[in-house]
Amino acid sequence: MLFSTSGKPEPSAMNFDLPKLSRRDFLTKSTLGAGLVLGAPSILKAKAAGAPADDIRVGFIGCGKQHEVLFNAMVNIPGIRYVAACDIMKARVGRTYSAIKSRFDYGIERYLNAQEMLDKEELDAVFVATPDFWHAPHTIMALEAGCHVYCEKMMSNSIEGARSMVDAMDRTGKLCQIGHQRRSNPRYRYALNELIQKENLCGQIINVNGQWNRALSASQDIVSKPSILPKADVLREFGFNAGADHKLSEEELRHRFLNWRFYTSLSGGPISDLGAHQIDIFNWFLGAQPKSVMASGGRSYFKDREHFDNVMCIFDYDTPQGNARAFYQVLTTTSSGGGYYESFMGTEGTINISEREAYTKIFKESGADNAKWDKLVQRGLLKKQAAGVAAGGADAIASYESAPPDEYALPGGLSKQPHTPHIENFYAAVRGEAKLTCDARHALESEAPIYWVNPAANSKQIINFTEEHLHT
Amino acid sequence: MYSNDKDPNDLGLTLGMLTLRLWLAIRAIQTGIEKFAGEKSIDSTVVIDGAPNSYGLTEATAGKVYALSNYHGVPAPLMDKFANEPLIPGWGLGIYDAILGPVLIILGLTLLLGLATRFSLFLMGLVYTSLTFGLILIKQDAGVAWLGIHIVMIVMGLALAKYNKFAILHKW
């Protein structure tokens, strides 16, 4: 049978006779020095099944595109044993099985139902990469099954769902990392800790500007062969008819399954899908939550989609340095305008940072202390790139223009895939060697304002945040 | 004939022939070897205040490496252009792509060592003529002119063949 709904393991899969608490406890207790005695039986059994005893046993819930991104980012991390994967689409689970088999030469168990996988498998950690509206249910069921969880952002399609994840993390005492991967990115951590906080490179940050501009070609409907998609009854069982005002046909359900990002009951739309990564950085770098949001959005091109295809919003902050405003735009109809980045604009300098190094630049204001910046270059904290070039020319209005800023760069980059450090941090935390860089509580503190952007755009009203809006 | 070429006694022309052999040999050998060259990115830890940074920031420097896996007889940017030329058969392009590098290295070595110098020069001339044919088709006039200079040098080498010294095999 292709899919192991029977739960019968392959010879290559891990054995099921392991004592319930032994493996997970071993991971923690061995780091505390007590695991060698308490975990001895499980060590022997795990080794007999072909994996080192301290390998982290991993399962996947959701095997679509985002799962592939995560898997490709972790395949070179040592000490991992892939045990099982689940998705309601058989072909996806099959692809995951093949990817692991070809890479590691062992098979995994395959499931169509997450609860069944969690009931039958002995897992230490689970990766949740399902549609947004399934993040909270899947994360909670995995935490309650005794697993540590890495869940993709946004935490949920609703703030209530996100809050329930924080509750489950607290209740179970398990780790729950949310996939805001920039939080573990060395370049972002360095820019915040060393340049902004220690060196006050920007001076007072008064404005923040961020965007993700994505071309129309990348925003089209996702299509697939109907023959490999789940049947209508399966899609109904798994909630893809949520929020519909009529009984959906199989074709409509399949469109929702492939394009759940377009539907308000299944996701938060582009502001959540793309903006969450970057608005998270606003809040993290500023060390504050905004006090209000105003927003505008439109179905300017994709008129039949439930979510806005472009959104612009302004957050107002009171930061430890003073008042600041942050503008963010997400466009799904053009990639012009400089791609995707977050820009922290201060009185002495600006840091344009992006997950893509090509979009990352640092600018020194003409009035900033030259000696200070030169010293930073000498110490290796910055790299000088180019002196600012005055516009000049007949069309320049000299009395209106400021002197152009000199251009600098970060002193180095990331030699791994963007998601890898975040996953490494998760595994290190599972082993008791590190603290999560973005656990569910901190993620929700950062995400909470994002849940109010669409309501602000819909109502065309400024939303002044209260404790009720933002509490975790 | 070989017997007529024996013992020419002009030091200047002998050295001229030797210089031509060296130039053409190095040109061919190194061109062949360069077809196995590629770039490898080497990551080094960024140093701040004289110590490796604690964040894991790295600086990538690209270094040149040689490996069989890097081999491209015909440079990739030109491959597509040749493939679109109706006068170049696809199968022929594939063979040419596979053998060009090794052929240049072998002919360069035979010329350098003096193994059948005249035939080596002639075959080298054919190779450069074939390259000229391809460059004419894709309108690379500068390359055609450059190869023309090579052909002139080869002809000079053949003309000076009777002054060929320091050769392992004088015959052919």
Cβ separation A186–B55 shorter than 8 A = yes
% of residues, chain A, pLDDT over 90: 82
The whole-number pLDDT of residue A423 equals: 98
- Binned at pLDDT 50, 70 and 90, residue A398 comes out as low
| A132 has a pLDDT exceeding 80 | yes
Of B119 and B85, the structure prediction assigns the larger pLDDT to B119
Cβ separation B46–A421 shorter than 8 A = no
Which positions in chain A touch B55 (Cβ < 8 Å)? 186-187, 189-190, 193-194
The whole-number pLDDT of residue B153 equals: 93
Cβ separation A190–B55 shorter than 8 A = yes
Of A348 and B77, the structure prediction assigns the larger pLDDT to A348
DSSP A384: E
| A15 has a pLDDT exceeding 80 | no
The whole-number pLDDT of residue A395 equals: 72
Question: From A378, which residue of chain B is nearest by alpha-carbon distance?
Answer: B49
Determine the average pLDDT of the residues in A181-195. Answer: 97
Strands A310-319 and A322-331 come out as: antiparallel
Query: Is the confidence metric ipTM above 0.85 for this complex?
Result: no
To the nearest whole Å, the CA of B35 is away from the closest chain A CA by: 27
The SS3 of residue A413 is: strand
| A182 has a pLDDT exceeding 80 | yes
* Closest-CA residue to A37 (of A49, A47, A25): A25
| A90 has a pLDDT exceeding 60 | yes
Q: Distance between CA atoms of A324 and A170, rounded to whole angstroms? A: 33
- Binned at pLDDT 50, 70 and 90, residue A397 comes out as low
Determine the average pLDDT of the residues in A276-304. Answer: 96
| A216 has a pLDDT exceeding 50 | yes
User: Chain B contact for A327, CB < 8 A?
Assistant: no
For the beta carbon of residue B156, count every other beta carbon within 10 angstroms: 15
Determine the average pLDDT of the residues in B30-59. Answer: 92
The whole-number pLDDT of residue A17 equals: 37
Determine the average pLDDT of the residues in A1-12. Answer: 35
The whole-number pLDDT of residue B7 equals: 59
Cβ separation A421–B48 shorter than 8 A = no
Distances in whole angstroms, Cα of residue A372 to Cα of each of A243, A348, A362, A367, A368: 57, 11, 15, 12, 8
Contacts of A81 (CB under 8 A, 6+ apart): A14, A51, A55, A56, A57, A58
- Binned at pLDDT 50, 70 and 90, residue A51 comes out as low
The whole-number pLDDT of residue B96 equals: 86
| B3 has a pLDDT exceeding 70 | no
Which positions in chain A touch B46 (Cβ < 8 Å)? 380, 411-412
Cβ separation A380–B55 shorter than 8 A = no
- Which tokens belong to A446? 């950062």
Q: What is the pLDDT of residues B71-84, one digit of tens each?
A: 988 888 788 888 88
Cβ separation A421–B49 shorter than 8 A = no
Which of B49, B53, B58 lies at the smallest CB-CB distance from A415? B58
To the nearest whole Å, the CA of A147 is away from the closest chain B CA by: 29
- Give the up-direction half-sphere exposure of residue B104: CA atoms within 13 A in the CB hemisphere: 24
* CB contact residues (below 8 A), chain A span 395-414, against chain B: 410-414
Enter the pTM of the model.
Answer: 0.78
